[in-house]
């Protein structure tokens, strides 16, 4: 994949004359685009062999790539495809007017057909599994597909309205918008196409937000609850919030970063598995309307809980998986959840108060789990943050001898690294399922079910 430079703009002459590296920002190269890479870009190379991570392109295309970050001698450069010389058959006109080089950074694949987006995500998962865990899709019990959520399989040009939580930034003129890619700059918008109807109907983009640094809009799917969380700039006063629908208002405090109620409920109500969950301000709940139910079912189908089982729900949030487990293990079973967020723990205890044999502990998993004195468990669910669980936690988990472990992952690289650690500890992947719960972006959700390698398939 060699390429000839089309134009070179290599920083200023004083930098070139000194020992400082020469910036290549603005340089353009005509390149043949190679495979997709983790992070929403594809790989290409300059004629000199320097790696380019190129956004707004697709594998197999020939494009003019303009460097957005990097310098001579760097291990790689970041770039945008500003001109498509030869297009992929999977390319479409981006439905969103704010998508494209230098514009909104919220979506990565607006220019790809929906089916192509899922194939690209599948290729990323397969590459990460092979490189970091030494697993082929067959060895991971995965058929290589990334499944769309219910209702998301739409024709090209139609965009799923799935984002129930949108974090708006505010520009110097008080306009609400979204951040540009790898930038603090704000792209003002009139409407986000992937925002859920419950967010769009608030009319955030139509208001003047002068004095605010950001606004988070939340539209629960398990109820009609709507909430905005305002983060004022230092010294700014909170505005009177008058939106198009009833909404509760929260404020991010400048001195401690805490979130405090201004008016309305300090939580929203969500539904999954026939149960209502209270989710406090700043608490975690899956963003896609179908995600909580989809992932809960995948986990329960993979674990096949039995009456009387003991189970762990690690990084348990407000108790989604703990609640599903408690329903299935019955009165003679027991569930322990561990969560670091204080407010999430309060919510989880409230949500699961009807279960006598459910306990929720607050703290980091790697600190709390060893202190519990638990030496064995039948089932384990872990849904760690993007960085993954890590070697120390995985080593502890394999020592508990669980019959099955469900690993829910929003990052294929972290998942693959941890699966490698589980493999070293004597666990194999029984099945892996992938779900496209973040359409138009590079993000993807996976559920891996593990069991002791000595056990027959």
pLDDT at position 5, please? 52
pLDDT of amino acid 455 = 66
Q: Determine how many CB atoms are found less than 10 A away from the CB of residue 5.
A: 14
Predicted confidence (pLDDT) at residue 239 exceeds the cutoff of 50: yes
Q: Which residues, 6+ apart, have CB-to-CB distance to 417 below 8 Å? A: 132, 133, 388
At 294-305, the pLDDT tens digits run 999 999 999 999
Residues recognised as catalytic:
410
CB 382 within 8 A of CB 389: yes
Do the bridges between strand 76-86 and strand 51-55 make them parallel or antiparallel, or are there none, so unpaired?
Answer: parallel
Q: What percent of the chain has pLDDT over 70?
A: 95
Instruction: Say whether pLDDT at 253 is over 60.
Output: yes
pLDDT attached to residue 254: 79
Residue 54, both tokens: 């190129």
Averaged pLDDT, 254-268 = 89
Quick one: pLDDT band at residue 20, thresholds 50, 70, 90? low
For residue 21, the 8-state DSSP code is P
Element (H, E) at 432: strand 427-436
Q: Return the pLDDT at 11.
A: 44
pTM score: 0.92
Mean pLDDT to the nearest integer, 28-49: 96
Mean pLDDT of all residues in 169-187: 97
**Chain segment 374-405, per-residue pLDDT in tens:** 999 999 999 999 999 999 999 999 999 999 99
pLDDT, residue 456, reads 52
Give the other-Cβ count within 10 Å of 81's Cβ. Answer: 26
Other CB atoms within 10 A of residue 351 CB: 24
Who has greater pLDDT, 443 or 11? 443
pLDDT surpasses 50 at 10: no
Predicted confidence band at 162 (pLDDT cuts at 50, 70, 90)?
Answer: very high
pLDDT in tens, 402-427: 999 999 999 999 999 999 999 999 99
Query: How confident is the model at residue 13, as a pLDDT?
Result: 45
pLDDT value at 16 more than 50 = no
Reference 159, options 119, 120, 127, 200; nearest CA is 200
pLDDT for the residue 151: 86
Q: Strand ranges (DSSP E) for 209-333?
A: 212-219, 226-232, 248-252, 259-263, 267-272, 275-280, 310-314
For the cut 70, the answer to whether the pLDDT of residue 316 exceeds it is yes
How far the first Cα of the chain sits from its last, in Å, is 42
Classify each residue of 271-308 as buried b or exposed e, where b means 16 or more C-beta atoms within 10 Å of its C-beta: ebbebebbbbbbbbbbbbbbbbbbbbebbbebbebeee
pLDDT at position 8 is 44
pLDDT digits (tens, 9 = 90+) for 86-109: 999 999 999 999 999 999 999 999
* DSSP bridge pairs for 289: none
pLDDT digits (tens, 9 = 90+) for 202-220: 999 999 999 999 999 999 9
- pLDDT reported for residue 281: 83
| Mean residue pLDDT across the chain | 93
Which residues does 9 contact at the CB level (< 8 Å), separation at least 6? 24, 25, 26, 27
């Amino acid at each position: 994949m060699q390429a000839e430079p089309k134009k070179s703009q290599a920083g200023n002459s004083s930098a070139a004359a000194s020992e400082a590296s020469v910036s290549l920002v603005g340089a353009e190269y005509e390149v043949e685009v190679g495979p997709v890479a983790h992070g929403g870009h594809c790989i290409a190379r300059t004629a000199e062999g320097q790696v380019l991570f190129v956004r707004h392109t697709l594998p197999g295309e020939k494009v003019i790539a303009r460097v957005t970050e990097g310098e001579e001698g760097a291990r790689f450069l970041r770039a945008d495809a500003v001109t498509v010389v030869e297009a992929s058959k999977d390319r479409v006109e981006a439905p969103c007017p704010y998508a494209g080089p230098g514009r909104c950074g919220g979506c990565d694949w607006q220019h790809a057909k929906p089916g192509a987006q899922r194939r690209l995500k599948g290729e990323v998962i397969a590459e990460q599994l092979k490189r970091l865990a030494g697993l082929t899709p067959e060895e991971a019990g995965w058929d290589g597909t990334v499944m769309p959520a219910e209702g998301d399989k739409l024709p090209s040009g139609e965009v799923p309205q799935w984002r129930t939580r949108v974090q708006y930034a505010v520009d110097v003129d008080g306009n609400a918008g979204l951040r540009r890619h790898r930038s603090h700059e704000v792209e003002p918008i009139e409407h986000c196409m992937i925002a859920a109807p419950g967010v769009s109907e608030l009319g955030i983009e139509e208001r003047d937000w002068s004095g605010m640094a950001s606004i988070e809009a939340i539209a629960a799917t398990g109820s009609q609850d709507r909430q905005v969380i305002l983060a004022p700039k230092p010294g700014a006063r909170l505005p009177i919030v008058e939106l198009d629908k009833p909404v509760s208002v929260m404020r991010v405090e400048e001195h401690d970063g805490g979130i405090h109620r201004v008016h309305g409920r300090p939580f929203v109500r969500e539904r999954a598995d026939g149960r209502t969950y209270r989710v406090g301000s700043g608490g975690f709940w899956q963003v896609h309307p179908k995600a909580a139910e989809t992932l809960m079912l995948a986990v329960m189908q993979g674990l096949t809980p039995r009456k009387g089982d003991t189970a762990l729900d690690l990084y348990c949030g407000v108790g989604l998986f703990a609640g599903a487990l408690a329903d299935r293990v019955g009165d003679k079973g027991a569930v322990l959840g561990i969560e670091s967020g204080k407010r999430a723990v309060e919510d989880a205890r409230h949500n699961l108060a009807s279960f006598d044999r459910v306990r929720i502990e607050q703290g980091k998993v790697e600190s709390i789990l060893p202190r519990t004195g638990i030496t064995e468990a039948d089932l384990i669910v872990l849904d760690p943050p993007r960085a993954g669980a890590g070697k120390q936690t995985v080593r502890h988990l394999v020592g508990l001898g669980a019959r099955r472990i469900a690993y829910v992952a929003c990052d294929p690289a972290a998942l693959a690294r941890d699966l490698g650690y589980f493999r070293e500890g004597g666990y194999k992947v029984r099945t892996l399922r992938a779900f496209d719960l973040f359409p138009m972006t590079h993000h993807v959700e996976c559920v891996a079910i593990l069991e002791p390698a000595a056990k027959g398939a």
